[in-house]
Amino acid sequence: MKKALSYLSLIALGSGLTVGSGYLFANPPAETRFTQTAVAAPESPDNSNIAAIPTGASTNFVTDVIDNVGPAVVRINASKTVTSQLPEEFNDPFFRRFFGGQMPTPEERVQRGTGSGFIISEDGKILTNAHVVAGADRVEVKLKDGRTLEGRVMGSDPLTDVAVIEVDADNLPVAELGDSENLRSGEWAIAIGNPLGLDNTVTTGIISGIGRNSSQIGAPDKRVDFIQTDAAINPGNSGGPLLNENGQVIGINTAIIQGAQGLGFAIPINAAQDIADQLIATGRVEHPYIGIQMVALNPQIKAEFERSTNQRLSDDTGILVARVMPNSPAAQAGLQDGDVIKRINNRDMTDPSSVQDAVEQVAVGDTLSAEVSRNGRTNDVTIRVGALPSE
């Protein structure tokens, strides 16, 4: 069972996988290893797919966009102090006496990282990625006009990789937020950021895909669908804006797939804005959660599950509940290991991401009606959605 679940879409709904501050996703397949630190050269887009220059715009419309939005794009320098730990043996009195007064002491070193962000309010609120400021003791924000301001992290949400920083300033230039709901492949995409320390770098391309779920791109612990673009994104671009041809922000540039070319990903701005509003208001985000681990059922998974658990399954398709988390909303509703989810709220469930989507469409405290197969019989289960535990 462990072997099967290690390469299939096994996720803990709502709780995801443990999120590391280093933001290197947990064991994706080698061919789709996903990280913010890999460098990928942009692939030249197929000319047949390139969006037409906006009607009435000059042939230099990209320059116009950059002139308008560039001043609102910032560089974020984050640092944290790390103390090296001495081996446990140094705490042994028998061992310490050999050193006398020459005992080594823990050493401190400062880790530094650079990312991008963009200003969303004149009074100094800035959107960026959570992994840009993860664990930071100090955050500095460098404006395009040359000023460097001390930043404060108002809130950070690792599950969606969105964070909000605040600086003490007024009358700042603001990036206009657009609408990411109705994006189409082939539309223009313009990225601004500070890749590899090169401030205010601009790249262009197209939107090459939408609705890429986290499992598809090797990031199963993230709870957001991504915009795919071939606009070049490199280390340091993280947190910067992805813009449309009108200069409106449609996404937050966040990552690339290591070893690929022309595959960059951005968080849709509608989702990011919802998260940002919660972070600004309360400093935290409540994610809906039911607490199961699941996998799409097929003959191989069925055979592996039956062999490892001695439990017979009567279904060949559906979403297999591999584990119910203790004291979770699913456990309280009576879900059991080996149940097969067929429908939620009258919608057929075709893969684990469809279950995840169904949960994310409701608020904490709402209920879900699930149709579950168990021992050849169909059961109706009502699950009251809870809030994702903080740990």
Same structural domain for residues 55 and 200? yes
Over residues 378-384, mean pLDDT: 94
pLDDT for residue 256? 75
Residue 173 counted as domain residue:
no
Same structural domain for residues 201 and 256? yes
| Euclidean distance between CA atoms 74 and 253, whole angstroms | 13
| Euclidean distance between CA atoms 302 and 325, whole angstroms | 21
Q: What SS3 class is residue 40?
A: coil
From the candidates 156, 180, 238, 328, give the one annotated as an active-site residue: 238
Residue 316, CB half-sphere, CA atoms under 13 Å: how many? 1
From the candidates 9, 131, 287, 339, give the one annotated as an active-site residue: 131
Indicate if 44 belongs to the active site: no
pLDDT for residue 148? 95
Residue 172 counted as domain residue:
no
Residue 379 counted as domain residue:
yes
| Residues 6 or more apart whose Cβ sits within 8 Å of residue 30 | none
Same structural domain for residues 86 and 223? no
Same structural domain for residues 195 and 337? no
Indicate if 58 belongs to the active site: no
Q: What SS3 class is residue 163?
A: strand
DSSP labels for 193-223?
A: E-GGG-TTEEEEEEEEEEEE-TTTTT-TT--
Name the domain boundary from 143, 167, 191: 167
Same structural domain for residues 76 and 147? yes
255 φ/ψ angles, rounded to the nearest 5 degrees: -165, 165
Domain tally, the chain: 3
Structure tokens given for 2: 């462990």
Pinpoint the alpha helices (H) of 78-137.
93-96, 130-133
pLDDT for residue 111? 78
Name the domain boundary from 116, 133, 167: 167
Name the domain boundary from 167, 196, 212: 167
Which domain does 130 fall in, by range? 72-98+105-167
Same structural domain for residues 266 and 197? yes
Summarize pLDDT for 59-101 with one digit per residue, the tens.
588 999 999 999 999 999 999 887 666 566 556 665 555 555 5
Q: What SS3 class is residue 189?
A: strand
Indicate if 79 belongs to the active site: no
From the candidates 161, 221, 225, 230, give the one annotated as an active-site residue: 161
Residue 12 counted as domain residue:
no
Structure tokens given for 21: 């501050």
Same structural domain for residues 309 and 325? yes
Summarize pLDDT for 283-334 with one digit per residue, the tens.
999 999 999 999 999 999 999 998 988 888 888 889 999 999 999 999 999 9
Same structural domain for residues 242 and 312? no
Same structural domain for residues 206 and 272? yes
Same structural domain for residues 201 and 158? no
Residue 15 counted as domain residue:
no
pLDDT higher than 60, residue 218:
yes
Same structural domain for residues 125 and 201? no
Q: What SS3 class is residue 332?
A: helix
pTM: 0.74
CA angle (252, 81, 145) in 5-degree steps: 45
> Residue for token digits 């993860």?
134
pLDDT for residue 19? 29
Residue 233 counted as domain residue:
yes
Residue 24, domain CATH? 2.40.10.10
Q: What is the share, in percent, of the chain residues with pLDDT greater than 90?
A: 58
Residue 174 counted as domain residue:
no
Residue 3 counted as domain residue:
no
Name residue 110's amino acid: V
